[in-house]
Structure 1
C-alpha cells in the first residue's frame, strides 16, 4: 500500500511558508511511501481575479500561481469546480488553464449535492472535453479534467478535490488495491475475505491516523480523514480488477462482476476509520492492468463500469474513447452519470479521454508510468435528440424519497 496523496485544502492565499513547512514535514512522516503532495482550493470562479481574462492573461496567471504553489511544496493543484450557479464563461477559461501547465486540474459540476441536474451543463462539459482533447496531440489533456456529480468538498483524490472555504485542513488518499487482492487470496470463504479486508484497512488506517493527528497538532491544520478508495496501480499485484476476479469471476465484465464490486465496496464501509471522500472502489481503466486488459479484449465496456458504480464506485475514470466521439455521445454518458449520482445520492465523476486519431478498438499506449496499455472503448448508441438535448435544470429526488 502507498499513499497516493496528502491533500491540503485551503484558500488560495494560505501562507506559503506554512504550506512549505507542512509539505516538507509530511514527506517522510508516514509509515507508507508518499507519492505526492497536493493542494485543493475553493471553486476557482470564487477567487479568480476579475481583471484576468483572455487566453494569454489566463495562462500567465495560471503559470505564476502554479509556480508559487509548487515552490511551497504542492506537486499538483486542483482549482475547484465550475459549479452550477457559475456562468458558462468560467468553463471557457478551462482550456487555457490546462494548457498553461501540467500541474493544474479543473472540474465542472453537472449535478450538485442538492439533487439538481443541469442538462445544458452536461452538453457544455461534453464540448469542453472535446476541446481539451486537442490541447496535446495524444489527448492526454483530459487527465486533468473531470465532470462532477453530487460531489461534496473535501475528497483528497484528484481531480475531484476542492475546498469548501474557511479553515485549512488536510486528508489522505491511499493507493490500496493490493490490500483487497491479498485479502481475497488469503481467504477460503467470502466471510473470511471480507474480514481480512476490514482488518487490513483498519490496521493501515490506525497507523495513518496516528501520524496525521501528530502533524495536525504540530502545524495547526485539521486532519479531516482518509479516503480509503481501493485505488490501483498498473501492475497485476496492485490491480483492483485482479482482486475482483480473484473472488471467482472468469473475467471482469462477466455476470457476477457487479456482485463482486458491491461485495468489496461493502467491506470498506464496514471498516472503522476516519473516512472522507469516496472511500469506495476506484475503477480507472488506464490505471489498472486488469481493467485495461479486459477493455482491450472487448469484454468490459463503458456501460458495465457505470453499472458497477451503482454499488461501489467513483464513476467513470480514465476512459479511452475514439478521437471523433461526438459531443452528443459524451453528453449521453454525462447525463447517465448525473442521474445515477442523483438518484442514488452518491458522488460520481467522469474523466473521459477522447484520443485524437484513434478509433474504437485501436491500441492505446502512453509513455506514462501510471497508465497500462489498452484499447479505445466505444460508447453504445448514436447521438441524442429531442427532449434530452433541450437544456434544463431538473430537481431529482433520491430513490428513498419515492415513497
Structure 2
C-alpha cells in the first residue's frame, strides 16, 4: 500500500510569516522519512492553509496576485511542489481564481458553493462556473482546472487537493492509494458480500499499522493528527484501477447494473474502519486519473449523470471529468447546483473538478500531456 500524501495544515495570519511554511515542510519531510523507515512509499507531501481570504484581506487584486506569487516562490525555494491556499467564499474573490491559476504553477485553491447551514450559494455557484470556463480558455489544454475545484459541504482537514483547507492549530492528515488493496480483495472474492468481508479485513489490518505510525509522529513532534482519509485515491497503473477492480465481482463493465451497489459497499467499508478517519473517506472516481475509468468512458458505459448517481452513495463528486469546450456557463452552473444539492441533502462532502476542453467536442480525445492524467473521450453534456 502506498501513501498518496502527508498533508499538513497551517493557519497564516498574513502572507509574510513564511517560517510557518518552512516548519510545515520540515515536519512533512521528517514524517515521510519515518514512514519510509517502516517500509511505506510516500508519493507526495503537501501543505494547505486557511482560506486565503483571511490572510490577504483588504488587498487590491494586483497585490493579492503578487503575494500569492511570493508564496509560490517561497515554496519553490524549499522544494515544495503542492501548496493549497484554501478556498474563496465570495463572488469577487472567486473571480480572481483564474488569474491566480494562470500566474502560478504549484498553487491549488477552491471555492465554496454551499453548506448545510446556509444552503446553496447561487452567486458563488455562478461565479465558480465562470471560473471553470475561464481557466479552460486561459490555460494550455484547460489543464489549469487540475488545480481548482468547487465544493459543497466539505470540512477542513481533507488531505487531498484542491479541496483541502485548514482551520486552527497546525495539524496533519494522511491520504492513501488503496487500489492495490481493493484489487487483491476483489480478486479473491466470488460476490459482493465476500468482497466486502475480504476488503474489511485487509483494510482494518493495514490501516491500524499506518495509524499507529501517524500517532507516534504526532506525539514526537507535538503536531495534531487529523486521521486517515480512507478514500480510494486512483492509480494510473491499470492493474490497480478502481474500475477494473469493480469488474472482478460484477457480470458487466463499470457503469453497468451493479456499479451503484459496489460503490455503496465500498464507502460503507471505508467509513467503518476502527481508526481515526478524516476528509472524504469515500470512493473517488476521477475519470482522468484512473486507466480503467478512462477506458470505460471511451466505451461510454457511463456518463456524468451516472457519476452524480454514484456520488449519492459514495464519494467525492465529479473529479477530472472532461467536458466540451463550448459548454455554456449556464450548463456548468447547473452541474454544480446538482452536485451541491446532493451534498447538502445527503450531508456529504462533494466537489467538482471539471475540464472543459477548448475547441473540442464530446467524443473527441483529450491531450493533457500530464504525468498525473490519462487521456480519454470528452463526455457529452446534454
Alignment TM-score > 0.5, same fold: yes
Structure 2 residue 24 is the aligned partner of structure 1 residue 19:
yes
Q: Is the 8 A contact 2:94 2:124 kept in 1?
A: no
- 1:96-245 residue pairs with structure 2 within 5 A? 96-114=99-117, 116-164=119-167, 166-245=168-247
Separation (CA, whole Å) in 2 of partners of 1:229 and 1:167:
24
The residue correspondences of 1:4-403 to structure 2 (distance < 5 A) are 4-12=4-12, 13=17, 15-30=20-35, 31-54=39-62, 57-72=63-78, 74-83=80-89, 86=90, 88-114=91-117, 116-164=119-167, 166-380=168-382
Q: Unaligned regions of 5+ residues in structure 2, if any? A: none
Normalised to the residue count of structure 1, the TM-score between the two structures is 0.89
2:3 aligned partner:
3
* Shift in Å, 1:268: 1.6
Structure 1, gaps ≥5 residues long: 381-403
**The 10-residue stretch of structure 1 (345-354 or 369-378) with the greater mean CA deviation from structure 2:** 369-378
Give the conservation status (yes or no) of the 8 Å contact 1:364–1:375: yes
Answer whether contact 1:293 1:373 (CA < 8 A) is retained: no
TM-score by length of structure 2 reads 0.94
Deviation at 1:110, TM superposition (A): 0.7
Query: Per-residue displacement from partner, 1:117-175 (whole Å, max 9, x unpaired)?
Result: 112221111111111112223110101110111111111111111002x2110000111
8 A Cα contact 2:10 2:24, kept in partner: no
**Equivalences, count:** 374
Deviation at 1:53, TM superposition (A): 2.1
Counterpart CA distance in 1 for 2:226 and 2:138 is 35
Contact 2:192/2:262 (CA < 8 Å) preserved in 1?
Answer: no
What are the Cα deviations for residues 60-110 of structure 1, in whole angstroms up to 9, with x where unaligned? 322211222344453211111112xx3x22112211211122111111111
Q: Distance in 2 between matches of 1:359 and 1:271?
A: 42
Whole-angstrom CA distance in 2 between matches of 1:145 and 1:375: 21
Q: Does the CA-based 8 Å contact 2:56-2:64 persist in structure 1? A: no
What is the RMSD of the two structures over their aligned residues, measured on CA atoms? 1.6
Cα deviations by residue, 1:250-305 (Å, 9 ceiling, x for unpaired):
11111221111112211222221111011110000000111111111122100000
Paired with 1:297 and 1:159, the residues of 2 have a C-alpha distance of 28
